[in-house]
Chain A
Amino acid sequence: MIRFTEPGPQTTVQDLGRPGHLREGIPPSGPMDVRAFVAANRLVGNPDGAAGLECTVLGPRFSVERACAIAVTGAEAPVTVNDAPAPQWATVALKPGDAVRIGAAKAGVRIYVAFSGGLDVPAVLGSRATYLRGRLGGVEGRALRRGDALALLPSAGAPPLRRLAAAEIPALEPEPEIRVVLGPQADRFTDEGLHAFLSSPYEMLPQSDRMGARLTGPRIAHRNGHDIISDGIALGAIQVPGDGQPIVLLVDRQSTGGYTKVATVGSFDIGRVGQVKPGQRMRFRAVEVAEAHRLRQQFERSLAQVAGGGVPT
């Protein structure tokens, strides 16, 4: 059992999500930063889709009852085992009774914790991922609470101790450039509005969550009206309501909506959006569909290789 003495402000169980239910209004959920999540699982010898934790801003404190391995990735945060510092992006072996504490993120927002074997919570619609608004999956569809105890599924034995090569650890940039494909309603905005969108920094607002990243910056002005007949919202779609401020729709997004969408963030950059802190800024750069496909392939290759070799600790 993993016993949580402090859960952190929003720690949820995630796996790679439940695709295929958007037509019922149920979003895929899953980790915001897929690459960091997959790296954590590989470092503890798990399949990529094993259930682990996504922690927001501040990690949990927990103790383990039996030996297991963990890996902490994603946002940069201090990790201690029995008060002794432990590395991130590396396999950490735990003995029965070890107490782990994951502190506040110094850079980035989402911290991932994988456990060897993976967390044993019931799969709902084929996934263990938590969808908070729909009270679905994970632990009773909610974030972890103090006193929760979670079991682990059997693992294939103690994984080798490895750490990610420095080059594989993503840099958390102060002002990341996020690549987007314009549309589907880019023609509903003024030239000045589109220019502002692609040339100015936009700041992350604190009310952002797994549903959407709310940003503030120069107004992205509409030509005539901000409403459309409601239609489907892709991952990364950037809605612009009447106030001209963009909202990037994320893994827990509503499946449909009626605001104009100026552009869509490439799936390869969603993880980077998920690591931008409130108050931090980002910029948008438009790419063509062909370029987006190339970037996606590059991302898939990087995902296939992450923590593939690793180096012994």
Chain B
Amino acid sequence: MALCVELGDEISVETNTRVRALEFLIQQKGLTGVVETVPSFRSLLVYYDPAQVGYEALCASLATLVEQASTATLPPPRVVEIPCCYAPDLGLDLEAAAERLQMTTDELVRAHSGAEYLVYFVGFTPGLPYMAGVPARIQLPRLTTPRVKVPPGSVGLGGAQFCIYSVESPGGYWLLGRTPLRLYDPEAADPTLLRAGDRVRMRPIPRAEYDAIAARVAARTYRPVIA
């Protein structure tokens, strides 16, 4: 059984921070009957075991925690550096996006990699981070026809949102580049690189460095830069 706690109806850092604070409080208090939680932009999905907690009782305890969520202190965020090669053969829409935005590809890359992004949540496919906060001057509506297959590691832009595809999947975002890092590695002890609440910085890298890091990632000798 599951219930959805909605804390707003917009994509904002404030609302999402309350979602993550609510999840943090549930974990800290070890709320009886809660088996799993799924944060997203503005809501928290709470899976519960009805044999351990009734619906009304759970709603009441969650309501108390929702009140505390506005003032709760979350642990300090991790800052994760994502190396990204912005090249037209990896970022399949880089040139088209720059043209549409009436800027050079260098200007687009600088704008995209100059910002720091919040991981609002991880979802859809394993390890895929949902980020927002894309500078207004490089925002584009999603592709009119989504691609059937987007390669993993592709860095995509859709409106104010930006994501990094974690597995090969369909996708409607403008692809600007690709990271050699694996966002999802089913064989790793911790299979996903990013978590809700992380801060992400993009580091533009040349093609040679992309290939070098990709080789180290494949050999499992690369350690991502996490502060």
Task: Give the B-binding residues of A (Cβ under 8 A).
Answer: 19-20, 22-26, 124-125, 133-137, 141, 184, 229-235, 254-257, 264, 267, 289-290, 292-293, 296-297, 300
**Complex: chain A residue closest to B45, CB-CB:** A232
Report Cα–Cα, A79/B50, bound state, in Å: 38
Q: Sort A-B residue pairs by CB-CB distance and give the 10 closest, nearest first.
A: A232-B45, A256-B123, A232-B38, A234-B2, A231-B40, A255-B123, A136-B186, A25-B126, A24-B192, A231-B43
State how many residues of chain B have any CB contact under 8 Å with chain A: 42
Taking a contact as CB atoms under 8 Å apart, the answer to whether A235 and B2 are in contact is yes
Q: Could you jot down 26 A-B contacts, CB within 8 Å?
A: A22-B47, A22-B123, A23-B37, A23-B121, A23-B123, A24-B122, A24-B127, A25-B122, A25-B166, A124-B186, A141-B186, A184-B4, A229-B9, A229-B40, A229-B42, A232-B2, A232-B40, A232-B43, A232-B44, A232-B123, A256-B40, A256-B121, A290-B55, A292-B1, A293-B50, A297-B51
Which of chain A's residues has its CB closest to B194's CB? A24
The secondary structure that dominates the A interface is mixed
A-chain residues with CB within 8 Å of residue B187 when the two chains form the complex: 124
Is B122 a contact of A23 with CB atoms below 8 Å?
yes
Chain B neighbourhood of A296, CB < 8 A: 1, 50
Is there an interface contact between A229 and B11, defined as CB atoms closer than 8 Å?
yes
- Determine whether the beta carbon of B184 is less than 8 Å from that of A23: no
Judge whether B191 is part of the interface by a CB distance below 8 angstroms: yes
Are A19 and B35 touching (Cβ within 8 A)?
Answer: yes
Q: Looking at the complex, which one of B23, B51, B192 makes contact with A25 (CB distance below 8 Å)?
A: B192
Assembled-state Cα–Cα distance A95/B184 (Å): 43
Kindly count the residue-residue contacts between A and B in the assembled complex, taking CB atoms under 8 Å apart.
Answer: 117
Q: How far is the CA of A297 from the CA of B49 in the complex (A)?
A: 10
Cβ of B126: which chain A residues have Cβ within 8 Å of it? 24-26, 134, 136
What is the CA–CA distance of A232 and B128 in the complex, to the nearest angstrom? 14
B174 within 8 A of A: no
Specify which of A257, A264, A290 is in contact with B2 (CB 8 Å cutoff).
A264
Q: Which residues of B contact A235 (CB under 8 A)?
A: 2
Contact pattern, B 119-156, Cβ under 8 Å of A = 1, otherwise 0: 00111111110100000000000000000000000000
State which of B38, B47, B167 has its C-beta within 8 Å of the C-beta of A133: B167
Chain B residues 34-70 with CB under 8 Å of chain A are: 35-45, 47, 50-51, 54-55
**Bound-state Cα–Cα, A264 to B2, Å:** 9
The answer to whether A125 and B2 touch (CB under 8 A), given A19-B35, A25-B127, A289-B55, is no
Residues of A with C-beta under 8 A to B35? 19-20
The answer to whether B21 has its CB under 8 Å from any CB of chain A is: no
How far is A247 from B195 in the complex, measured between Cα atoms in Å?
A: 28
Task: State whether A23 and B38 are in contact (beta carbons under 8 Å apart), knowing that A232-B45, A234-B2, A292-B1 are contacts in the complex.
Answer: yes
The residue that B124 contacts in the complex, of A19, A135, A257, with Cβ under 8 A, is A257
Residues of B with Cβ closer than 8 Å to A?
1-2, 4, 6, 9-11, 23, 35-45, 47, 50-51, 54-55, 121-128, 130, 166-167, 184, 186-187, 191-192, 195-196
Report the Cα distance A125→B192, complex, angstroms: 12
How far does the alpha carbon of A190 sit from the alpha carbon of B31 in the complex, in Å? Answer: 37
Question: Which residues does chain A contribute within 8 Å of B42, judged by CB atoms?
Answer: 229, 231
Contact (Cβ within 8 A) B186 A230: no
A293 and B10 form a contact (CB under 8 A) = no
Contact B36 A24 (CB under 8 A): no
Q: Give chain B residues whose Cβ lies under 8 Å from the Cβ of A124.
A: 186-187
Measured CB to CB, the nearest residue on chain A to B42 is A229
Q: Which B residue's beta carbon lies closest to that of A184?
A: B4
Whether A267 pairs with B186 at a CB distance below 8 angstroms is no
Cβ distance A136 to chain B, nearest Cβ, rounded Å: 4
Question: Which residues of the other chain, B, contact A26 by a CB distance below 8 angstroms?
Answer: 126, 191-192
**B169 nearest in chain A by CB position:** A133
Query: Does B125 lie within 8 Å of A19, measured CB to CB?
Result: no
Contacts A23-B36, A26-B126, A254-B123 given; does A134 touch B167 at CB 8 Å: yes
Q: Complex Cα distance A230/B40, Å?
A: 7
Q: Contacts A134-B126, A234-B45 given; 11 further ones with Cβ under 8 A?
A: A23-B37, A133-B125, A134-B184, A184-B4, A229-B11, A230-B40, A231-B42, A232-B2, A234-B47, A235-B2, A296-B1
Task: State the CA gap A137–B126 with chains docked (Å).
Answer: 14
- Residue among A19, A133, A255, A290 having the largest count of chain B Cβ atoms under 10 Å: A255
Nearest CB on A from B122, distance (A): 5
A292 to B43, CA, bound (A): 23
| A19 close to B186 (CB less than 8 A) | no
Bound CA–CA A217/B2 (angstroms) = 27
Task: Give every chain B residue within 8 A of A133 (Cβ-Cβ).
Answer: 125, 167
The complex places the Cα of A93 from the Cα of B120 at a distance, in Å, of 53
